[in-house]
Structure 1
């Protein structure tokens, strides 16, 4: 599954992590594969498994 970098940036900003969002903007590729880039996501405090529930349209449950 590929996730657009902007969705991850928006997620970080919504969590009040603007400094990490700025870092992620320059460090992440335009499309992110949560499995392939798990170590990079972890650097920004993102658990790849949590992305499914936190980014709309990625198959999260509820809401």
Structure 2
């Protein structure tokens, strides 16, 4: 399972965390692998399971 970077960016920007969104946009691929980037997602207070649910469990 991967998570679309655009979903992460949208959540961060909704929270007003524009600098963090810019960082994620520069540093992560378009499809984020929670196993590989789980630490960063946790730091951003993002739950991979909830992100997948929000995205409707789109393509992996």
**TM above 0.5, one fold?**
yes
Q: Which has the higher helix share?
A: 2
- Normalization by structure 2: what TM-score? 0.71
List alignment gaps of at least 5 residues for structure 1.
Answer: 59-63
What's the RMSD between the two structures over aligned residues?
A: 1.9
* TM-score relative to the length of structure 1: 0.68
Q: Which has the higher contact order (CA 8 A, sep 6+)?
A: 2
CA distance in 2, matches of 1:19, 1:12: 9
Structure 2 residue runs of 5 or longer lacking an equivalent are none
